[in-house]
Each structure stands twice: as C-alpha cells, then as structure tokens.
Amino acid sequence: MAYWSELPPELLTLIAKRLETQFDVLRFRSICRPWRSSFPPKLYPLPKRLPSSKKTKAGCRFSLNQITIATLFLVRLPPVTENRSNQTDPSCWLIKISDGKPLNPLTDSGLNANLPKVLDLINCQVIELGHGYVGRYSVHINYRFRGLYRNYIEKVEILRLSPDGDDFMVVGLFSHGVEYLALLKSGENEWTVLENMHGIQDIITSNNKLYAIEQSGGTIIVDQFFSVGFIQHAVGSPTNRKFLVESSGDLLLVEMIFLENSESNAGFRIFKLDEENQKWDEIKSLGDQILILGLHQVVSVSAYEFHWGDQGNLIFYSIDGNVEDRVMYVFDLEKGISIPLENCPVYCNLFWPLPVWLNSSESVVSSSMEATPGTEFANLGICEDVGSSFSSS
C-alpha cells in the first residue's frame, strides 16, 4: 500500500509548482504535515504605499489608494457518475469574494443570505475560476481658484516579473473624461502615464505581457521592459463596449453590441488574437467555454465544470441601472439571442438563490471546524494574503 505522506519531497515540489491558484496550494498543504512543509504558501505581496502621479497635461494628479483582489469561485456537489451531464440539476453555484464579502459575480451586489460559516470540503468541491484586481482611485483637478477631488473605482492589473512575485508592474487606468494607461514598476517612485493612449476600455496580463484595448479598436502591448507595441488594425466598432479575456490559452476580445428595437438587448462578437500576424480573427463559437462578464472581471470556464458536457458557447452578463438594479442575461452565441436569467431557472440558479444543499446543516455544511475538514466561508479565497488590500498614505 502506498502512503501519500511518504512521497519524496522532490516529487511534492514538482506537483506543487504546477498548482495555478492559491486555493489549490491551500488544499495541497492541508493534506498532511509533510506536504505542508514541502512547499510554502503561494504569496504575492503587494506594496504598502504607491506614489501619486505627476501632474498630467490636463492638469490632473492621480492616486491609486487601495487595491482589492476579487476571486470567482465555483461551489459544486461532486458528480454522481463520471459521465453526468444534467443541466436541470442545480448542483453548482457561483460566488465572488472581494475583501471578505460575498458578491454576485455579474452585478457585484451583496448577497443578503444566511451563508454557512463553514464549508465541508469532503462533501462539496470549491474551485477557483479566476481572480482580478479592483482599485480605488482619486483624481485631483487643478482649477484657477480651487481644486476638485473625485474618487472612482476601476480595474487594476498586476504583471508578475519574477517567479517569487517580488518584482512586478502595477497597471492602472487614470480616468478623467477618458482613461489613460498608467504603469508603475516595483521599487520605482514615479508612474509612467501614457497620455497619448486614451479611451482604454479593458486591460489584461497574459504571456508575461500587458494588453490594452482602446475604444477605437486599437491594441496596445507592453512587455516587462516597458517596451510598447501596437496592433494598428482596429477591431470592432468605436461605439461598442470591448472586453479582454484569456480562454483555453488564447487571448479573446469580446465586443458587446447594444441593440435597439430588438428582442435581444445586446449582441456579441468574439475575436481571437493572432499576435504573430498582428491581427484579430473573428471566431463564431466558444466551443465548450462559457464567459462570465463581471463589472471589472471577465472569466472563461468550461461547461464541463458545471457537469454540462460540451454545452457551452454562452455569455453571462448584466446591464442597466446601478449595482443593485442591474438585470442579468445569458447570450447564446449559436442562436444569437439573449434572454433574462429570470426566465431561465437552470442558468439563474448558478447565481441565486443559495442552493438548498449548501444551506443545509445535514448535507455539506459543517457546524464547526472540528467536525469535518472544512474552510470558513467568509475566508473563502483568502489563502494567506488573498483578499487583502494595501493603502497608500
């Protein structure tokens, strides 16, 4: 009989290095004492202070005051059989954890529910689907007789420049009428603001590079040495909203087209980056992938994770109103139509309400940490430093 605790340390290290998320590292280290001591927590410390920018040409000074990490999780029951593919079974639930608070992944609205204090990880599975960073910015605008301050929330990206995470580049969006790309390397005291590149609609890090998409459809590529490149061929229409997401190893651009006088309130086009040939190629299908368009984060996940087989090719999104009033929809790429989630219980149950099996003390929820191996729900996604934020002074 083989004992997992007796695996050679060098083999454990090889396994641990292939774990992509901090939550997976947490589960790996919780197996037994030898496993825990074989690999340290996957920590990516962030700076405690960030400098304000110099005054821009428009007379504005920007600050990035706080960064919070938001993590999207799938909580699901184990499949009854290996080949289970039953969309009518509400065995999956999506939740976003930001700053220790549970949120709706599409609207960022708070979940007013009696969430269990502890999840029993023997009877349910928790899978990290992705994470992103959100920044609290402020801008000081100089007028002749007085200054004006404005605070806003916008996306942030962190480009890791070393395996241990000590070297990195913070990428922000400085916004005053239009969005400017701003870069700050660890150890430096001055932001690099690319003022000639504005109208940025989304940013993403992929393949050790930063990618940004302009409203006009132009693509900006920045490497770890601050070398800036462009894809001159514009993609999509300047009037449409654009998102960037990594899916199955490819970088995709999602163009959201707002429709009037149509049964569908929005349409979508998908493009895949061909960086070698400096162009975006339109694709007609996502295959088994499903896109979840949050307010500051887009995540691609396989339909197999929901026990749906290959029945993907869907986009979940929300539009209109403030955070609490946004309406959620699902867009079927194959049929080219969008439907309110409230009319699709199968899909709506992914987001709300809280599944009965998750809220039942007799099924998967442990009343104490001593009863069964579990994790505190409030700390879901907070593996050592996940969910933490830093402030400037």
Confidence (pLDDT) at 127: 87
What are the residue boundaries of the structural domains of the chain, listed by start? 9-38, 55-358
Q: What is the mean pLDDT of the chain?
A: 79
Report the pLDDT value the prediction gives residue 376, as an integer from 0 to 100: 55
Contacts of 378 (CB under 8 A, 6+ apart): 100, 115, 117
CA–CA gap between residue 279 and residue 258 (Å, rounded): 24
Model confidence at 389, pLDDT cuts 50, 70, 90, reads: very low
- Decide if pLDDT at 286 tops 80: yes
- pTM score: 0.82
Residue 46 is predicted with a pLDDT of 57
**Would you state the pLDDT for residue 7?**
80
Q: Which two tokens stand for residue 375?
A: 């994790």
Task: Tell me which of 58 and 345 has the higher pLDDT.
Answer: 345
Residue 63 β-bridge partners: 138
What does 224-275 look like in DSSP terms, one character per residue? TT--EEEE-S--S-TTSEEEEEEETTEEEEEEEEE-SSSSSSEEEEEEEEET
Mean of the pLDDT values across residues 131-150?
Answer: 82
- What confidence category does residue 273 fall into, taking pLDDT thresholds of 50, 70 and 90? very high
pLDDT of res. 226: 85
How confident is the model over 91-111, as a mean pLDDT? 88
Name the most confidently modeled range: 48-62, 79-93, 164-178, 218-232.
Answer: 218-232
Q: What are the angstrom distances between the C-alpha of 283 and each of 182, 227, 250, 291, 314?
A: 31, 29, 12, 14, 14
Residue 17 is classified by DSSP as: H
Average pLDDT over residues 164-188: 84
Q: Is the pLDDT of residue 21 over 80?
A: no
The pLDDT tens digits for 344-372 are 888 888 888 777 777 654 443 333 333 33
The predicted pLDDT at position 271 comes to 97
pLDDT at 194: 86
For the beta carbon of residue 376, count every other beta carbon within 10 angstroms: 12
Give residue 196's pLDDT: 76
pLDDT recorded at residue 1: 45
pLDDT at position 359 is 65
- CB proximity list for 305: less than 8 A, separation 6 or greater: 74, 76, 92, 127, 129
Distance CA 235, CA 58 (A): 28
Q: What is the mean pLDDT of residues 199-221?
A: 93
Over 80: is that where the pLDDT of 136 sits? yes
Residue 11, classed as helix, strand or coil, is helix
126 compared with 157, residue with greater pLDDT: 157
Token pair for 393: 């002074």
Specify burial of residue 371 (Cβ count, 10 A radius: 0-12, 13-18, 19+): exposed
